[in-house]
A and B are shown apart, each in its own frame.
Chain A
Amino acid sequence: MRQLTMMKATLEALSGEMARNPAIFVLGEGIGKRGGNFNTTSGLFDFHGPQRLRDTPISERGFVGLACGAAMTGTRPVVDFMFADFVLDAAGEIINQIAKIQYMSSGRIKMPIVLRGCIGIGHAAATHHSGSYYSLYAQFPGLRVVVPSMPGDAKGLLTTALRCDDPVLFLEHREVLGLKGPVPEGDHLVEFGKASVMRQGSDVTVVALALMVHKALAACDILERDGISVELIDPRTIAPLDHDTILRSVAKTGRLLIVDEAFAPCGIGAEIAALVADVGFDELDAPIRRLNGAHTPTPYSPPLETAVVPSTEIITQAIRDLCDE
């Protein structure tokens, strides 16, 4: 299969869906002629023009609220945040309005809106361009939260998001945007709530998200040489979260490590741990372990930045330790 970057893969999804559905339009800063800070809309302006590739003023709250009203009245806005950090000004619009209106209208109003932006630590981007936020959004009823790690998945998940009647947060780790992987041609959909088993294994289950999937994959390679067999699961969407795949894997391995770059307290790792402790307790042969990014604002200086993110070495060691327990 051909190899594309995640950036190209999502562009293919967006471009295909915009051609297919004239109700889709994109809002964001620099997403018109410029084609997006991360090339998310590259080339689309020439096809679809300014109404469907709408450059906005720096009014994050404003255009998210506007997108809400648009989604309620027959169009499908895609809000391109550039960095997910920027949209915290619009948290009220997302959490209080976008997430709640289907419920409050008892399903008579749909909320087909995609909110996408970059997350994740790297590039010495420092603390206002590196947050992850997905656990936060996953807590609220009414939102779908997608965190892809692979280009092919990203294409399939974005296509699903663009056909979905629920609001979707599509959060793309900046450090994986440029990584290549196989991407199916043409129509490609990946269902929400279906985890991907990246590696089959028998000794230990590792659940990882976004960039951590890639680091965990490297750890799997190292451990394989030492005869440790890791089952690596990428949930791909955390709302909905695929409980079954995780529980089935833990039933097989008896051991679980969750690797999540985002903060540990009240995070998705805690949620997965609680799930397995609750439903899969009898399957466990060892305590559930978590690895998270440090609970701190993201520092700038490269040695500091490196220090706050789980590395392949740390992940490898954590898996070894867990297997010894």
Chain B
Amino acid sequence: MQEKQPFLELYRTMMLIRLCEERLAKSHSRGLVHGACHTYVGQEAIATGVSAHLRLEDVVFSTHRGHGHALAKGLDPRQLIAELYGRETGCSRGRGGSMHLFAPEVGLMGTSGIVGPCILQAAGAGYSFKLLKTDRVAVAFFGDGAVNNGAFHEGLNMAGIWKLPVLFVCENNQFATEVPFACSAGNPRVAHRGAAYGMPGIELDGNDVLAVHTAAGEAVARARNGEGPTLLECITYRTRPHSEGMGDFTYRTREDVEQWKTRCPILKLKRHALETGWASIEALDTLEREVAAVVELAHEFGEQSDWPNPATATHHVYASH
């Protein structure tokens, strides 16, 4: 992973997530996004570093903060933006919105409005892959809030007993809505909990995409080799409010947020690129312009897309339509 092409790909994915999120935030304030919108700004390195190791047929189960996971797994940004705009062309055909993104074609098995179930479902996918004798892997992304939910305990325990090919990726952004993690965990070191379930628990700088990439690479290899699950705790910070339109400085300070912005995962990779010389500033700027154009087109696509046909509102409740 020392050649420059993969680095550039990581940069491109993080940039795509960032610019999509900024676009969605703007659209939310303009009323184009109809429901909630939890952005992934500040956490891009995690979805990016993990998903770089995933094949199309590997699967991801995600949370209410799932736009980044969806894009990193390969969801077309047009389908993401159209979904949040409530359009027929959205990845969930306008049934889901921000918190229910489904794109099984690229292995995105769903983001969720309920904290916790993604952990169990990823374990279940791991169970399928093992039973079907494939080397596919499943990933659950979840926040620090989810680790105090029973699903975490039951899911990691079962994955541990049965050595399921799963990555449990905790994005510890240090708050669940506005509750600091330290107030809700008897032992705030999530990685330590791996030991309780017989799996490695690894604490990482979640804003360092290369660190995430390396650790996830090892965890994916373990999973594919039948050596079982891994718990990754990625320490990070979201630098926008919990959800668009919410206040941000009653439970944390402006200074804290500004300080974390200096640790932005994209800036960090950019500095690394320039220091080590694997990319020039011009190359990165060009890439950023390309991504911005993609996002702008995706936005236009979303705005111009048709609304879903109300007559289809009850389709797909059952397999037989």
- From A28-36, A39-47, A95-103, give the one contacting chain B: A95-103
Interface residue tally on A, bucketed by range: 35 or more
Most central of A25, A51, A106, A108 by chain B CB within 10 Å = A106
Contact code string A53-86 (vs B, CB < 8 Å = 1, else 0): 0101101011111111111111101000000000
Can you name the residue of chain A whose Cβ is closest to the Cβ of B97? A104
- From B35-43, B113-121, B188-196, B205-213, give the one contacting chain A: B113-121
> Are A69 and B154 in contact, CB atoms less than 8 angstroms apart?
no
Pick the contact of B128 from A74, A102, A106, A110 — CB < 8 Å? A74
Q: Is B81 an interface residue, CB under 8 A from the partner?
A: no
> Are B131 and A57 in contact, CB atoms less than 8 angstroms apart?
no
- From B88-96, B234-242, B285-293, give the one contacting chain A: B88-96
Q: Is B222 an interface residue, CB under 8 A from the partner?
A: no
Q: A105-B102, A106-B316 are in contact. List 18 more A-B contacts (CB 8 A).
A: A62-B150, A64-B120, A69-B122, A69-B138, A70-B127, A71-B124, A72-B125, A73-B124, A73-B128, A73-B129, A75-B127, A93-B120, A103-B95, A106-B92, A108-B104, A109-B109, A141-B314, A166-B318
Give the distance in Å from the alpha carbon of A140 to the alpha carbon of B121 in the complex.
Answer: 21
CB distance from B76 to the nearest CB of A (A): 15
> Are A109 and B102 in contact, CB atoms less than 8 angstroms apart?
yes
Q: Given the known A-B contacts A52-B131, A62-B151, A141-B317, are A105 and B124 also in contact in the complex, defined by CB atoms under 8 Å?
A: no
CB distance from A4 to the nearest CB of B (A): 30
A-B contact pairs, 13 of them (CB 8 A): A23-B131, A52-B131, A62-B153, A62-B154, A66-B127, A67-B124, A69-B121, A69-B128, A70-B127, A70-B128, A73-B125, A75-B132, A164-B319
> Are A69 and B127 in contact, CB atoms less than 8 angstroms apart?
yes
Q: Given the known A-B contacts A62-B157, A142-B317, are A70 and B125 also in contact in the complex, defined by CB atoms under 8 Å?
A: yes
- Chain B residue numbers with a CB within 8 Å of A72 are 104, 109-110, 121, 124-125
Interface residue tally on B, bucketed by range: 35 or more
Can you name the residue of chain B whose Cβ is closest to the Cβ of A75? B128
Q: Which A residues have a C-beta under 8 Å from some C-beta of B?
A: 23, 25, 51-52, 54, 56-57, 59, 61-75, 77, 92-93, 96-97, 101-111, 141-142, 144, 164-166
Give the distance in Å from the alpha carbon of A68 to the alpha carbon of B121 in the complex.
Answer: 6
> Are B96 and A66 in contact, CB atoms less than 8 angstroms apart?
no
Q: Is B147 an interface residue, CB under 8 A from the partner?
A: no
Pick the contact of A101 from B110, B130, B154, B315 — CB < 8 Å? B110
Contact residues, B143-162 vs A (CB, 8 A)? 150-151, 153-155, 157-158, 161-162
Can you name the residue of chain A whose Cβ is closest to the Cβ of B114? A96
Q: Is B321 an interface residue, CB under 8 A from the partner?
A: yes
